Chains A and B, each alone.
Chain A
Amino acid sequence: MLREPCVSCGGRVASREREAAVRRLSLTIARSARYPAVYRLLDGLGLCADCLRLLPILGERICIQCGRDMGGRTPSLLSDRQKCGDCASVRDEPLAGNRGLLVYNEWGKDMLSRFKYRGDERMAGLFAALLALAFYRYYGSIRFRCAAAVPLHDNRLRERGFNQVELMVSGLGKRIGVEVVPLLARTRHTPKLSRQGGRTARQESMRGAFEWVGPVSCRKREPDIVGDGGGSDVRERGGTLLWWRRIGSAFLGRRLMAPDAILLVDDIYTTGSTLRACAETIRGQVGHGCRVYSLTVFR
């Protein structure tokens, strides 16, 4: 597997320095029991030692809402010190929280455009692994009912041929043992984000852009849990989960199970308006007790 050249720079992957780089990164991302899983993910990442070292991982100090790196920024003084200015100003936040793994810099731009626009679907594995790393870093303790991708509009999908987020999320699901269920469809063809005006305009244009296509009985019925996972540990996790859920639904009923949490996945969080609109749609359907967390590769 590591015979392949580095996904990013085309250099040699296997090298002496690489192991050290993987170890160092693993420690940054996970200091807990997740270490082996994180190490394995990083080791299989297909990046050479140099590119691993250059990964723009978000720092320790982040906004507790949107996951933005607050390294040099003074938190907004007006409100909650742990939220960034943008998040502090949002009322009725439908998202329970967002987390990303990497800062969106030139490297990220290049990698994402290679995947998204040039259509190199082989990159899906890399992004899925990055998402899994973010998952283990921030969401490892939350038990998600299912994961869903932010959908593309049908026209865009037909034009591009694939939904990059869907490919990422199916890889993620296998890696972390969470079932992937398509929940949403995009009903409106919104213009490209960059071409739109301000934040509020973007928010407005997103309203009602998504529609529920998930299982009708999603509120009442437990969705069937993962078939097969990626690695053995994942399968085991899925197995025990399944077992617990069976016990749960048989004896205790849905209400007493772990609170509903749904994982929403996108490639990048820019202003969050897309993810917020998705979360609103989901909560409108499943109920407001449902917490929607979002996970993105870039923040």
Chain B
Amino acid sequence: MREYLLYVKVGDEAAHVYVTPCFAVDQTYWRERDGCRLHVIGKSPSLALAFYLRGVLNARLQGRDVGEEDIAAMREWALEHVREANALYGREARDMQPLRGEWFLFERAGEDAGDADGRQADEGEDADAGREAPFGPGAPFPAGALPDLRADSERLHLLLQGRALLLEELDGFLHRRGWTGSLRRECLQWLVLDGKAEWRPGIELFVRWDWWRRRLAMRCGRCGSERGIALTLCHTCGQGCAYCTTCLDMGRSKCCTPYLCVPGKRTRFRKDSAAAVLQWEGRYSPMQAAAAERARRFVAASKPGPSAFLMWAVCGAGKTELLFPAIRETLADGGPVLIATPRKDVVLELAPRLQRVFPAARVIAVHGSSREKWEDADITVATTHQVMRYYQRFPLVVLDEADAFPYHNNPVLYRAVSRAVQPGGKTLYLSATPPRYLRKRLVPSAFRFPAHSATHVLLPGRYHGFPLPVPRVCTVAALDKRMRQGRPVPPLLDGVKASLAAGRQVFVFVPRVEDVPRVLQYLQARLPDHANAMAGVHAADPEREQKVRLFRDKRHAVMVTTTILERGVTIPRSDVIVVGADAPVFDEASLVQIAGRVGRSADAPEGTVLFIQSHRSTAPYAAIRQIRRMNRLAERLRKKEAPSCCGSRV
């Protein structure tokens, strides 16, 4: 069972309370700095409690001068707070029984030791150590081991820079990186005291006023969420404990698991960085070139410039290529780049592509089961969850599909991304359908759609220069009932038939998982000639990847799907039909994305998009308005920017 010691440091500076897992290191550290004395307040097996006490005691100290007599008062305070925390936790955990008598154990340092307790003494200290009951300072760190401790801490610091890890992950990480030092805990504490690392419990405790009474509040130190924290009868610490269910996929963040954040290096200028060689054969259209240059300028701008930038590019505008100059710029400055994207398949596809155009840079793909997860690299392509494991590491973070799940209404991942950026670093948002708050923040006037500003650039046209296909809307009364009874739905059947006759593939989007088999059966029954060439897929489908592959290989001609295929999958000659476009899952952004599946390749830029609804609803029309607006803007830009070379296409 680990124990955490709480002590107050009194010296020239304001008194401050610290938590330590190995007091000997703290003693050694502070001994080197003259004129400070350490007084032990107490110890507890609960990490969260120790940090809570540290917080409240520091708040009560408020930089006041602390005399010897105040120490006793502080121990009293600590006890009071422990009693309160016990009562409050007990109220939350009504159906559980504490494992060790009390929810939070706290052992106060003995009064009899008096002011000698924990005193940073001179030569006579070792002799005194014995009588300092119940737990005096103990032996400080052996002086002989001190150089080792310093050197190991330095090495550990180099390894950990820019990472945020639970202590349990640290073992695996250090093993993988070939760390052999033995004084892991001591080194970490040394770094913490040196201000090179921060640590806190995975779940932090607070006590708040909740209307008329005090209430125990908990917050995940990793993902920052306060909801979804579940109490647990923990056998690891034997204390009142809780874990976070929001970021559970990344390992359990618990009250008793230390969470370690090590900021990255601020500056690492090596102007001649070899990694910054861009080998790309492609060419930009004039519109693309202008947008890429704006993104590059945003990245290159010196510190007091804007810290966030929105690249608003329609589906099929060639967003990835537009990033190259900005990435090159950052690499030339010697800074690593992070590209975060919501989907693992995008990560797997993007990493080799970037490796090809930046042959000298080290590119890694980081996702849950990735082998390269713990490596360092110039360009890191990661799923959004993995971003949580970085801390102030990257001068440039690119957030791909900033509107997509799981960012959608998810403050947790926004927080993770903002933590991964170095202080003063830049964040570049990419989106075809930026959510309102992002537009509000970064687009100066949301109504007039300016083509660019200091914080955004709008790319309304596709890379091949053809306009976006504009969807059609059909209203079929009682659509659900018709399909259930097997009665014909002419727009759907005619649409599918026409596409198949033209040798094109069809996406049929449905709102709910249970609609997938129903619509599939309906189509198979109604179009028996093509029944074998139809398939349905949803998020939890175990054969999902295989089915999508068959669809890509043109082995399936019709794919009935939920919104999971709304982005990412691009099929050259395909059409789209949305059945039940009035369902709430299909909002404006989602419908624009779906329509964006069509006509993406230069040799087949046209295609049809059909929204079938049973009631008149606003989203389909809003989506159409948005698509039309983009087409108009693209037309205008093309005329304005390149009157002479309107035919220039990549």
Question: Which A positions have Cβ atoms within 8 angstroms of B?
Answer: 8-12, 15, 17, 49-50, 106, 118-122, 157-163
Contact = CB atoms under 8 A, between A and B. Distances in A.
B514 A49 contact: yes
A10 B252 CA distance: 20
Given A12-B512, A49-B514, A119 B235 contact: no
A122 B230 contact: yes
A50 B252 contact: no
Contacts of A160: 235-236
Nearest to A12: B512
B248 A120 contact: yes
A161 B235 contact: yes
A10 B539 contact: yes
Q: Is the interface of B mostly helix, strand, loop or mixed?
A: loop
Contact of A162 (B234, B512, B513): B234
A9 B235 CA distance: 30
Contacts of A9: 513, 539-540
A11 B513 contact: yes
A66 to B, nearest CB: 28
Nearest to A8: B540
Contacts, number: 50
Nearest to B517: A50
Contacts of B232: 121, 161-162
Contacts of B514: 11-12, 15, 17, 49-50
A50 B234 CA distance: 34
Interface string B79-96: 000000000000000000
Interface string B531-549: 0000000011010000000
B245 interface: yes
Contacts of A49: 514
Interface string B221-257: 0000000001011111000010101001100101000
Contacts of B542: 106
Given A120-B245, A121-B232, A161-B235, 4 more contacts: A10-B539, A10-B540, A119-B252, A120-B248
Contacts of B243: 119, 121
Given A118-B249, A119-B243, A121-B230, A158 B235 contact: yes
Contacts of B235: 157-158, 160-163
Contact of B236 (A8, A11, A50, A159): A159
A119 B540 contact: no
Interface of B: 230, 232-236, 241, 243, 245, 248-249, 252, 254, 512-514, 539-540, 542
A118 B248 contact: yes
Nearest to A18: B514
Contacts of A121: 230, 232, 243
6 contacts: A8-B540, A11-B514, A159-B236, A161-B241, A162-B232, A162-B235
A121 B512 CA distance: 28
Contacts of B234: 161-162
A8 B539 CA distance: 12
B573 to A, nearest CB: 32
Nearest to A49: B514
Pairs A-B, 7 closest by C-beta atoms: A9-B540, A161-B236, A119-B252, A157-B235, A161-B234, A11-B513, A158-B236
A163 B235 CA distance: 9
Nearest to B1: A158
Q: Pick the most buried of A8, A15, A121, A163: most chain B CB atoms within 10 A of its CB.
A: A121
A50 B232 CA distance: 31
A49 B513 CA distance: 11
A160 B243 CA distance: 12
A267 B252 CA distance: 21
A122 B242 CA distance: 12
Nearest to A9: B540
A122 B245 contact: yes
Nearest to A6: B540
Nearest to B512: A12
Contacts of A106: 542
Contacts of A157: 235
A9 B514 CA distance: 12
B233 A162 contact: yes
A295 B229 CA distance: 31
Contacts of B513: 9, 11-12, 50
Q: Pick the most buried of B249, B539, B540: most chain A CB atoms within 10 A of its CB.
A: B540
B58 to A, nearest CB: 29
A6 to B, nearest CB: 9
Nearest to B542: A106
B512 A161 contact: no
A258 to B, nearest CB: 30
A11 B540 contact: yes
A12 B513 CA distance: 9
Contacts of A10: 539-540
A161 B245 contact: no
Contacts of B539: 9-10
A39 to B, nearest CB: 22
A161 B540 contact: no
A49 B249 CA distance: 25
A157 B232 CA distance: 13
Q: Pick the most buried of A11, A17, A161: most chain B CB atoms within 10 A of its CB.
A: A161
Nearest to A120: B248
